[in-house]
């Protein structure tokens, strides 16, 4: 897909994180100015960049972060399973602050980094689509399901379009056998975000963020209007992953369920 500058000024939250770093250079092709934000400092702004630090739990800071941008790629927040309180602050309160700021400033398109852990308690023997109900595998997955519901409300009530991208496992390479099914390359992630930013009518869409992997648990047929065509595949890593990992224990919930080890995390007190 051709990368067009659909929005002059883009906001990328979570810019100091793993995916934020991977997308920083790539997203410059999508805009004239890239505003980068995180809670923690991560250096100086480069050419055609702005940096606005903000804690998502701070409504005023989030309001300032959003002012003047044309679209938002929201990656910021707690990205793994853990105790409820920090997840609640960053992912539940934080996403509310983000959408309130978008409403006040007239931002009409958001790409929301949801997660496969919204549906982590489906089995690895099942293929699911976006119409099937969430089955979160922990507080983290619940917080992402909240973000999906909140963004649907802001679409229905205020017309803010959102792509909820249920990212699988987006790393440089698949790290284990499970990720052969869930892997999303950084280039495909960028292609997917570009599609979400440029499709004429996005609406409120849920799309599974995965590369063109031979083994998959997710059916993206409900999101054809987004126009995402993955070009990478985990298949080229299969032999190496099998060689360095043990055969799975089929009685292990981490092997039975799509969420992997997240389904066994906790309790935390």
Is there binding between residue 79 and ligand 15L (CB under 6 A)?
Answer: yes
Can you say how many angstroms the Cα of residue 269 is from the centroid of all Cα atoms in its chain?
Answer: 28
Query: Which range binds ligand NAI by CB under 6 A, 33-41, 95-103, 124-132, 190-198?
Result: 33-41
In DSSP terms, 51 is beta-bridged to: 36
Smallest separation, CB 54 to ligand NAI (Å): 6
The one of ligand 15L, ligand NAI, none whose footprint includes residue 94, by CB under 5 to 8 A per kind, is ligand NAI
Task: Count CB-CB contacts under 10 A for residue 99.
Answer: 25
Q: Distance of CA 18 to CAs 14, 38, 47, 93, 257, Å? A: 9, 12, 21, 22, 25
The one of ligand 15L, ligand NAI, none whose footprint includes residue 39, by CB under 5 to 8 A per kind, is ligand NAI
Is there binding between residue 243 and ligand NAI (CB under 6 A)?
Answer: no
The one of ligand NAI, ligand 15L, none whose footprint includes residue 77, by CB under 5 to 8 A per kind, is ligand NAI
Is there binding between residue 234 and ligand 15L (CB under 6 A)?
Answer: no
- Give 33's contacts (C-beta < 8 A, 6+ positions apart): 8, 9, 10, 48, 49, 50
Question: Can you tell me the distance from the alpha carbon of 142 to that of 154, in angstroms, rounded to the nearest whole number?
Answer: 18
Of positions 75, 98, 110, 196, contacts ligand NAI by CB under 6 A: 75
For 39, the 3-state DSSP assignment is coil
In DSSP terms, 161 is beta-bridged to: 109
Q: Which residue is nearest to ligand NAI (CB)?
A: 17
Catalytic residue selected from 99, 122, 140, 228 = 140
Report DSSP state, residue 37. E
The one of ligand 15L, ligand NAI, none whose footprint includes residue 110, by CB under 5 to 8 A per kind, is none
Query: Which candidate, 60, 42, 52, 58, places its Cα nearest to that of 10?
Result: 52
Question: Can you tell me the distance from the alpha carbon of 41 to that of 176, in angstroms, rounded to the nearest whole number?
Answer: 31
The CA-based angle 56-163-165, given to 5 degrees, is 80
What track of x and - describes contact with ligand 15L for positions 177 through 196 (by CB under 6 A)? --x--x--------------
Tell me, yes or no, if 228 is annotated catalytic.
no
Token pair listed for 85: 């309180």
Of positions 7, 77, 97, 164, contacts ligand NAI by CB under 6 A: 77
For 266, the 3-state DSSP assignment is coil
The one of ligand NAI, ligand 15L, none whose footprint includes residue 182, by CB under 5 to 8 A per kind, is ligand 15L
Of positions 29, 45, 80, 236, contacts ligand 15L by CB under 6 A: 80
- Whether omega for the bond prior to residue 221 falls within 30 degrees of 0, making it cis, is no
| Interface contacts to ligand NAI, rule CB under 6 A | 14, 16-20, 38-40, 55-57, 75-79, 89-90, 94, 113, 115, 167, 169-170
| Interface contacts to ligand 15L, rule CB under 6 A | 79-80, 115-117, 169, 179, 182, 260
Which positions are catalytic? Answer: 140
């Amino acid at each position: 897909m051709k990368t067009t500058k659909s929005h002059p000024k883009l906001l990328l939250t979570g810019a100091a994180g793993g995916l934020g770093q991977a997308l920083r250079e790539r997203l410059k092709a999508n805009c004239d100015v890239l505003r980068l934000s995180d809670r923690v400092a991560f250096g100086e702004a480069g050419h055609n960049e702005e940096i606005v630090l903000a804690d998502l739990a701070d409504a005023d800071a989030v309001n300032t972060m959003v002012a003047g941008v044309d679209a938002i790629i929201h990656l910021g927040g707690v990205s793994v399973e853990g105790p409820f309180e920090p997840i609640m602050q960053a992912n539940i309160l934080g996403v509310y602050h983000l959408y309130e700021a978008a409403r006040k400033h007239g931002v009409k398109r958001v790409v929301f980094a949801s997660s496969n852990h919204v549906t982590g308690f489906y089995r690895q023997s099942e293929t699911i689509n976006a119409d099937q109900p969430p089955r979160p595998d922990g507080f983290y997955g619940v917080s992402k399901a909240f973000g999906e519901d909140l963004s649907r409300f802001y679409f229905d009530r205020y017309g803010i379009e959102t792509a909820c991208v249920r990212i699988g496992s987006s790393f440089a390479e698949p790290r284990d056998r499970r990720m052969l099914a869930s892997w999303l390359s950084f280039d495909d992630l960028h292609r997917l975000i570009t599609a979400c930013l440029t499709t004429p009518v996005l609406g409120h869409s849920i799309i599974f963020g995965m590369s063109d992997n031979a083994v998959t648990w997710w059916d993206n047929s409900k999101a054809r209007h987004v126009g995402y065509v993955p070009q990478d595949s985990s298949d080229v890593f299969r032999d190496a992953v099998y060689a360095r990992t043990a055969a799975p224990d089929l009685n292990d919930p981490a092997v039975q369920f799509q969420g992997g080890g997240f389904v066994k995390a906790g309790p935390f007190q």
